[in-house]
Amino acid sequence: MAKVWFVGAGPGDPELITVKGQRLLQQAGAILFAGSLVSEASTRWAGEDCEIADSKGMTLEQITAWLIEKAQAHETVVRLQTGDPSLYGALIEMVQPLDAVGIASEVVPGVSSAFAAAAAACESLTLPEVTQTVILTRVEGRTPMPEGESLQELAQHHSTLCLFLSITLLNKVRNALLAAGWHDDDPVVVVQKASWPGEEQIVRGTIGTIREQCREAKIAAQAMIIVSPTLGARHWPELKRSKLYDADFTHRFRRAEKLK
C-alpha cells in the first residue's frame, strides 16, 4: 500500500537528517523537497530512478496534487520538509487531502532550527533556577497571531524565546520585549542558516543593537532569533547545578553520597 512520508530534513546540514529519514529517501520512488528552505543535498540518498521535484514555486493545491499522483505510482513517496514538519510546516493542510482520497501518511520528526541555532551558538535554552521553559513562536506579520499569543504577552514570562519567521520584524520584536519588561541591554543571539555548511552566520547582540547588527551582516531571511536569560551562561562565574548530577541527590539509578 502506498504511503506518503512527511520527513523532517533538519535545519540544513544534510547529515542532521534522521537515520529513518535517510532510509526513506533511499527507498522513495518520488521525493518532493522544499527547495527554498531545504538544501538540495538532502536528496543525495535518493535512488537513480527516483522522481525528484522542488516545491518552491508550487501552491498548496499543486503540492497535494503532486503527492497524490506519485502515491498512485510509487509505494513510498517522501515530502521532505525543513526542520521538523510539525513546526510551521503546513503539515495538516497537506495531510487532509491525502486522507480524503484514502492515501496513508506518516511523519518522521526532524531537528528544528531552534535547536540547531542553540547548538551553533553553544547556548543552553534552559538552566536550573534561571528558566525551565522554552517558547517557540513568531511575531505577527501577514499571518495574525491568535488571541493571547502576542509576543508581548508571551515575553512576560521572561523565559527563553525562540522566534521563527521574524528576522525582518526586529523593530516589532524590540518594542514587544520592552513592553513586556525586558531591557535594551538584554542579550540576543541570531543564527542565520544554522548548520548549513559554509553558510551559517551567528550574530550576538542585545535587544537594543541586534536590528542594526543584522542589517550590517545582511541577514534578512532564514534566521532564528533567541532571546533568553540563559544566554552567555558559558562565561558566568557561577551556575546553579543540576540536581540530577548532584552528589547529594538520590534518584533511582544512584544513592546520595553521605556527608562525612
What per-residue confidence (pLDDT) applies to 121? 98
Residue 215 sits in the same domain as residue 127: yes
The CATH number given to whatever domain includes residue 49 is 3.40.1010.10
User: Which sign, positive or negative, has the C-alpha torsion 195, 201, 205, 211?
Assistant: negative
| Backbone dihedral angles phi then psi of residue 162, each to the nearest 5 degrees | -110, 115
Q: Are residues 122 and 209 in the same domain?
A: yes
Domain end call among 80, 108, 136: 108
Residue 98 domain-assigned (yes or no):
yes
Parent domain of 139? 113-235
Report how far apart the first and last C-alpha atoms of the chain are (Å, whole number).
66
* Same-domain check for residues 162 and 91: no
Does 253 fall in a domain?
no
Compute the distance between CA of residue 6 and CA of residue 190 in angstroms, rounded to an integer. 28
**Per-residue confidence (pLDDT) for residue 249, from 0 to 100:** 64
Question: In 193-242, at which residue ranges do the beta strands (DSSP E only) sit?
Answer: 201-206, 223-227
pLDDT for res 134? 98
pLDDT of 36: 74
Same domain, 134 and 98: no
In a domain, 260, yes or no: no
* pLDDT one digit per residue (tens) for the chain, 260 residues: 899 999 999 999 999 999 999 999 999 999 999 887 787 777 889 999 999 999 999 999 999 999 999 999 999 999 999 999 999 999 999 999 999 999 999 999 999 999 999 999 999 999 999 999 999 999 988 888 999 999 999 999 999 999 999 999 999 999 999 999 999 999 999 999 999 999 999 999 999 999 999 999 999 999 999 999 999 999 999 887 776 666 666 666 667 676 54
Query: Is residue 163 in some structural domain?
Result: yes
Do 221 and 157 share a structural domain? yes
Residues 119 and 229 in one domain: yes
CATH number for 214: 3.30.950.10
Same domain membership, residue 175 and residue 65: no
Question: What pTM was estimated for this model as a whole?
Answer: 0.91
Answer whether residue 140 is part of any domain. Answer: yes
- Minimal CA–CA distance to 37: which of 87, 72, 95? 87
Which residue has 548532584 as its cell numbers? Answer: 246
Is 137 inside any structural domain?
Answer: yes
63 domain-assigned: yes
Give the total number of structural domains in the chain. 2
State the DSSP code for 180. T
Residue 247 lies in a domain: no
120 and 214 inside one domain = yes
Question: Does one domain contain both 88 and 152?
Answer: no
What is residue 259's predicted lDDT score, i.e. its pLDDT? 53
